Each structure stands twice: as C-alpha cells, then as structure tokens.
Amino acid sequence: MTEFIPPGTRFHPLPSPFAMKRGGELQGARMAFETWGQLNASGDNAILILTGLSPDAHAARSADNAEPGWWEAMLGPGRYIDTHRWFVVCVNTLGSCKGSTGPASIDPASGEPYRLDFPQLSIEDAADAAHEVIRALGIESLACVIGNSMGGMTSLAFLLRHPGAARTHINISGSAQALPFSIAIRSLQREAIRLDPNWNNGVYDDATYPESGMRMARKLGVITYRSALEWDGRFGRVRLDQQSQDPDQPDEEPFGLEFQVESYLEGHARRFVRRFDPNCYLYLSRSMDWFDLAELAGGDVLTGLARIKVEKALAIGATTDILFPLQQQQQIADGLRAGGADAQFLPLDSPQGHDAFLVDIERFGPAVAGFLADI
C-alpha cells in the first residue's frame, strides 16, 4: 500500500531497534515531521503539536510546501500560534501512512510492507517516538505540547513518560482514557474494514484497496466528529437538487442518496478513501482504545494525571463533542491541577462537535493564543 507523504516533509531515524510497549520492535524506523519558525538561542521557544488519527505533519504551509495545512488558520506568522515567536514542530504519528513508519511501510526484514506483521501499536509508542524527534532537534524542554484528539492522548503519555520534556500543555478535545462509547464506535469502524473482502487480512494493494470498508469507517467517523446541532442548522431536511421538486417522487435508486446530509457524508468518504492505508487505520484506531492513563499509573485516572508535572495547562473541549465528551477535558484539567499545575478547563460552545478545533478557529484560536501569551 502506498504511503502518502506531503512534499517538504522531513525525517528523523528512530533508534534501531525501537522497542514497542506491547512487545516487538521496529528496525530502521523513522518519524516524519515539519517545523515552522526558528529555535531561539536559549532553546525555550519550541512547541510540539501532536495530531489526531489522520493528519500528516503538514499543519500549515511552509517554505517547502505552499499547500495549506490541516491547521492552517491556527498556525503561521502572526497567527494564533505565531511562528514569529515560536519554533513549532508537528510530527506525523508513529503507525501512520504519511511519512512515519507504520503498517504500510516496508519491513526491512522481508522487503514487503509490514501489514499485520507490524507490532502492536500503543499511544505510548507514538509518544516515545515523538520525543525522539524533539531530542534530535536539540530541544531540552518544550515551551508547550499541544495535542488534539488522539494527540491529546499522546500528549499525556508523552508528559508522563518524559518528565521535564515540556513546561506547559494544551490538551484539545482529548482524553485520559478511552471510554466505551468511543471504543464501540471505533470497534465498528474496524469491523467495517475487516468485513470488506478486499481487506483480506491486511493483504491488499492499490487495485484491491478495501474501499467500501474504508468508506463506512470514514462516514461513521464523520458522524461522530460533528454534531446533531450543527447538522440541524446546516442541512436540516434539504434534499439533493434532483429531488427537490417533488419529495414524494419515487427514487431512481430506492436506497440511494436523497438528503444533503447523505451527500455530505459521501463527499467526506470519497476524499478519505485511497488516501489512508486501512491497516494503519486499524492500528491507530486500536491504540486509542487501549489508552488508559489509569492503567499506566496503576491507579485511577486522576492519579495518573497528577503524576504529570507541568507548570501550566489548559484543557479545551467543545460542548457538542460526543466522541471525547467535555467531562474528559474537565478531568484532564482537574488531574493536572492535582499534580501541581496551574490548570484551566475551558468548555467552548462550538456547534461542530469533536472537529470544532479544526473549524471553529474563531473560538479555539484565541483560547490557544491567550494561553501562549502568558507562558
């Protein structure tokens, strides 16, 4: 399966072998990343961005890649994360197919893609791999780690496993442990992929890409990334053009697309499939289910969070998020505060659900900028 690496991506080799938390190790693995801005002489202006499941390292346009990035409105000269002030690093997560080593990468032992021979992947592995990049860039201590969604989990693992690696933390729509509703959604997404005959236990190529399974998985993802409230206003019961004349007119295809919301999901699915490797999706999805700071700490979640030592923290969430609900960001703030941090919880009244941090920049941007202005 092809990897999908944006131009301008930089790479850092991981120590070889790189031991994985749940067993096994990687030989000759690498991490993909991009940077913006300049590290200052005292090395204290570095920010690390850890991403959700699907983004690459191209968070914003750069000298080497003029295409807008996935967080373009947030990051750049004069933007909320101002690259005149900050040296910003975004890593593509370990296990992805966008430059960092993952199940779609070539296994040096066989000369073939790892596929399901990739060792079991945990959020902790992704955190350790990101830490290697930071060390390689000569950063002793980050000014801030910012993690979104899955990256919020990765941030907590990073901070717990690498004390002193960051002075502050912004956790956006993240969680300290996976809960059963989100586990159930992800389990069903994986089942959709595994049920696609083309998945074939992970052995497919471009000609036999498990497209229908990935479409289902992506559509279910989009449903849980947004919110009913947003869609009531955005789509309501509006039908696709060809049917707007007479809603009672029999369909050409009785169970085909009829409502705008169905077409919206279809569009999202089309833009996603064939641009993400299904095995990587399975590995990353499962790593989120496994993540549990309580388990890591050998206690409860608050105990785990309280073992993280940062000076200052901000946990932001959207009131309409059903996948990483607001209580989870409240818990992160409470736990980090119990560990001694000056930690704030900021619920934002965004209609866009879990994805709000990607689209409601009007609310999330000032929140991030306000925190960074004070550190």
User: In whole angstroms, how close is the CB of 163 to a second copy at the nearest point?
Assistant: 22
Q: Which single residue is written with the structure tokens 């947003």?
A: 230
Tokens, residue 223: 């449903």
User: In whole angstroms, how close is the CB of 166 to a second copy at the nearest point?
Assistant: 26
Give the span between the Cα atoms of 47 and 372, in whole angstroms: 10
Give the 3-state secondary structure of residue 208: helix
CB atoms near residue 108 (< 10 Å): 12
Looking at the DSSP bridge assignments, the partners of residue 259 are 239
User: In whole angstroms, how close is the CB of 249 to a second copy at the nearest point?
Assistant: 8
Check: CB of residue 123 under 8 Å from CB of residue 290: yes
Whichever of 11 and 231 has its CB closer to a second copy, that residue is: 231
CB atoms near residue 51 (< 10 Å): 26
* Residues near a second copy, by CB under 8 A: 21-23, 116, 120, 177-185, 187-188, 190-192, 194-195, 197, 212, 215-216, 219-220, 223, 227-228, 231-232, 234-237, 247-248, 250-251, 254-255, 257-262, 265, 282, 286, 289-290, 292, 294-295, 322, 325
User: Angle CA(132)–CA(36)–CA(369) in degrees, nearest 5?
Assistant: 100
Give the span between the Cα atoms of 237 and 209, in whole angstroms: 34
Whichever of 159 and 176 has its CB closer to a second copy, that residue is: 176
**What secondary structure letter does DSSP report for 14?**
P
Q: 350's torsion region: left (phi>0), alpha (psi -120 to 50) or beta?
A: beta
Whichever of 65 and 260 has its CB closer to a second copy, that residue is: 260
- Please return the burial class of 320, using the count of CB atoms within 10 Å of its CB with bins 0-12, 13-18 and 19+: buried
Q: Which residues are catalytic?
A: 149, 321, 354
Whichever of 111 and 247 has its CB closer to a second copy, that residue is: 247
Whichever of 86 and 209 has its CB closer to a second copy, that residue is: 209
Q: Is the dihedral of CA 313, 319, 320, 324 positive or negative?
A: positive
User: In whole angstroms, how close is the CB of 83 to a second copy at the nearest point?
Assistant: 37
The dihedral over CA atoms of 325, 327, 333, 334, expressed in degrees to the nearest 10, equals: -160
User: In whole angstroms, how close is the CB of 107 to a second copy at the nearest point?
Assistant: 16
H/E stretch holding 187: helix 180-195
* One-letter amino acid for residue 352 of the chain: Q
User: In whole angstroms, how close is the CB of 95 to a second copy at the nearest point?
Assistant: 13
Check: CB of residue 79 under 8 Å from CB of residue 61: no
Whichever of 35 and 328 has its CB closer to a second copy, that residue is: 328
